[in-house]
Structure 1
Amino acid sequence: MLDKYQGYEHFFNAKQGELSYNSFEIEKNEPLDNVELKVQELLENCEKKNIKIVTIWDENFPELLKNITSPPLLLFVRGNLPDRDLNLISIVGTRHNTMYGKLITEKFVEYFVNNNIGIVSGLANGIDTISHRKVCEMKGKTFAIVAHGVDMISSAFSEKIASRIVENGGGIISEYPCGTPAQIGYFPVRNRIISGFSQATLIIESGIKSGTLITAKFAFDQNREVYAIPGNINSEKSKGCNELIKNNQSILCTSPEQILIDFGWKLKELPLANEAIQLENANELKLYKILDHEPKQVDIIADMADLEIPQVLVTLLNLEFKGLIKQLPGKNFIKV
């Protein structure tokens, strides 16, 4: 920073919007010795914790992020930054998702990972966490942009996911230095980085008043594509997405293939999940026809099939072993 601006006083006089220096707690007239001491302490702390510091002038700083309004001056990275040739999609949504949101997120993420797409999100509960976990299950690359120091993940659950992200070659990334606790004001500011990392941002479930819509607006202002999953018009969790679509602030998205086709990214020829699977008897055929992509409870399935529940459970188990259906909490089942 001192080399770039010929002294930190010139850094403070840089054009507003040229860059963001949230990483520094430095007073404008602070003595240079104090500044150098703070920087040295920061470097030593990061080295102890195996946290990399990447500046906006480094070759491996993400090019797309560099081009946004007010890019971060520094990134603190636990793990890795994305490779330059890795296509990225940001996925964000409500912290209080429905089963519909969970299933859609897992379906889209599975398709993206199978097509070598990296996923960016924010490590929050709900849609963010579902996205990161699914990528990790598939040994793909995912990157969590957090609104605090990368060493300040508060919950054991989130830390477990963060460790898996790093183990799989992804990264936990922040513009805030080690030891910085989360503050309410940091989250909306962080959202510009989530959208800034990627060519496209996908919104899966959002209320009308939600931080998710802040990310959508950042993506829109950054001239990045915004996609939104339509939802039930009576669901509070889908009102934000439906409003984005209605106001032409996002592209209505009904399949993951749509995004790859829009960008001209190469699609893999993936085998169908139930290709070459044979149904062995009339009960399997009957239950398979009854099930669709809306969860059905086992009692309802038994009534529709006119079968006893023990018969239904055995048949459903066989269909699940074949990869044709999936069991959800509460003895609910859907087609895969």
Structure 2
Amino acid sequence: MTATNLQQHPLLPWLALQQTHGIGPVRAIQLYRKLGSQWYQPEQLEQCHLSQAQRLQLVTAHFELLDPILAWQEGAANRHVLPWDHADYPAQLKAIPAAPLLLFVEGDVHKLTQDQIAVVGSRHPSYVGKENTRNLIPELVRAGAIITSGLAIGVDGLSHKAALDAGGTSFAVLGSGLDRCYPKRHQQLARALIDSGGALLSECYPWLGPLAHHFPRRNRIISGLSLGVLVVEAAERSGSLITARYANEQGREVFAIPGAWQNPLAQGCNLLIQKGAKLVMQANDILEELTAFSVAAVKIMPSTQAELLPYPELLDNVGLEVTALDLIASRCQQPVQEVLTQLVELELAGWVETVPGGYVRARRD
């Protein structure tokens, strides 16, 4: 490819700006608006208050990147490279400060404009966190939301799977290049997202592996694409809270599911609620804050107590949080063996479930 052709390719200004040290996304977009098609002309660059090293990088540091990027794009029919000024670049993301200069997409690029809700949480969720994810996502999908998350193990992966199981669409924003899907155990899930009409997205070049500093940057894209961010379960220091902070800065809604203050995985969510995030107990708590969705489309079945509760005092001491057998017995002030016998009966009747560490109240649809 000749130098003339290189200068004419629409990706080159963005590659040049992205590869130049000391120029962040905000400054890069300002420079692009000022320079336009004359971005590589020395006389134009001299007027932009750039150092000599930066001017040199702008015209030399990007040439070796274009060919492998184009080769990746041509490797499959559903691969796209969207610079900031591309017609298919999602407007919701484009509106945030420091929007990615380049967005690599594999999947249905046209759905990027549809309304999304981000769902994030712990990589090691509790039983309650898993159940909350599985219960809430289908209701959001039925209301018309695309579920966006980060493909990580834990709540992210559960969110994607729950969206697909409900017949919905899901987007995954990666902290690696799209040719280096991370984590590897979710490669099959990533393919399922694409096959079901969703997409994988990243600002990383396709061949880049996962690096620690990619993930906080990835989080701003997750929140930036979405109308709101739901934090299912998070410790006081976690990547999910970084996503929530970005959401606040971007003017997005933040939602959090509360938990027992003794539970370390609930501390982050409880802290968010203290700071103004909306407390979530059901899908309508999210949807009523987002005008893009119709609450009427969500069917929340009212709870019924048609059946007589067996051992009501015992059931009162088994909730959605995992409770140890000896603690249940202590609360009921009954012998452990007697409580165990009653729990077995309750489990056979579908009222409780055995989980690692004790018992939880079972779902009764």
**Under a length normalisation based on structure 2, what TM-score does the superposition of the two structures give?**
0.73
Q: Which amino acid aligns with 1:251?
A: K
CA separation in 1, counterparts of 2:343 and 2:267? 40
Greater shift, 221-230 or 287-296, is seen at 287-296
**What is the aligned counterpart of 1:46 among 70, 73, 78?**
73
CA separation in 1, counterparts of 2:266 and 2:188? 29
CA separation in 2, counterparts of 1:61 and 1:261? 28
Q: Residues 9 and 229 of structure 1: is their aligned pair in 2 closer, same or farther, counting only changes over 3 Å?
A: closer
Greater shift, 285-294 or 216-225, is seen at 285-294
User: Which residue of structure 2 lines up, in the alignment, with residue 157 of structure 1?
Assistant: 185
Do the aligned residues in 1 keep the contact of 2:15 with 2:62 (CA within 8 Å)?
no
Deviation, structure 1 residue 156: 4.0
Residues 1:76 and 2:104 aligned together: yes
Partner-residue secondary structure (3-state), 1:259? helix
User: Which residue of structure 1 lines up, in the alignment, with residue 232 of structure 2?
Assistant: 204
Segments of 5+ residues of structure 1 without an aligned counterpart are 21-25, 317-324
User: Which residue of structure 2 lines up, in the alignment, with residue 322 of structure 1?
Assistant: none
Superposition pairs of residues 210-289 of structure 1, within 5 angstroms? 210-248=238-276, 250-264=277-291, 265-267=293-295, 268=297, 270=299, 272=301, 286=310
**Under a length normalisation based on structure 1, what TM-score does the superposition of the two structures give?**
0.79
Between Structure 1 and Structure 2, the one with more helix by share is: 2
Deviation, structure 1 residue 74: 1.2
CA separation in 1, counterparts of 2:15 and 2:322? 64
Partner-residue secondary structure (3-state), 1:270? coil
Deviation, structure 1 residue 240: 1.3
Identity across the alignment (%): 25
Segments of 5+ residues of structure 2 without an aligned counterpart are 1-5, 30-52, 330-336
Greater shift, 217-226 or 3-12, is seen at 3-12
**What is the aligned counterpart of 2:204 among 159, 162, 176?**
176
Q: Residues 335 and 288 of structure 1: is their aligned pair in 2 closer, same or farther, counting only changes over 3 Å?
A: farther
Deviation, structure 1 residue 271: 6.7
CA separation in 2, counterparts of 1:6 and 1:180? 19
Residues 1:124 and 2:133 aligned together: no
Q: Residues 131 and 326 of structure 1: is their aligned pair in 2 closer, same or farther, counting only changes over 3 Å?
A: farther
1:31-61 Cα shifts (integer Å, max 9, x gaps): 8577334202221133225532122222221
Q: Residues 305 and 154 of structure 1: is their aligned pair in 2 closer, same or farther, counting only changes over 3 Å?
A: closer
Do the aligned residues in 1 keep the contact of 2:152 with 2:183 (CA within 8 Å)?
no
Large movers: runs of 4+ above 3 Å: 1-16, 30-37, 285-293, 295-309, 311-316, 325-333
Deviation, structure 1 residue 80: 2.3
| Alpha-carbon RMSD | 3.7
Do the aligned residues in 2 keep the contact of 1:295 with 1:334 (CA within 8 Å)?
no
CA separation in 2, counterparts of 1:190 and 1:159? 18
Q: Residues 243 and 7 of structure 1: is their aligned pair in 2 closer, same or farther, counting only changes over 3 Å?
A: closer
Q: Which amino acid aligns with 1:17?
A: V
Deviation, structure 1 residue 294: 2.3
Q: Residues 112 and 328 of structure 1: is their aligned pair in 2 closer, same or farther, counting only changes over 3 Å?
A: farther
CA separation in 1, counterparts of 2:220 and 2:252? 11
Deviation, structure 1 residue 335: 2.5
Q: Across the two proteins, how many residue pairs are aligned to each other?
A: 316
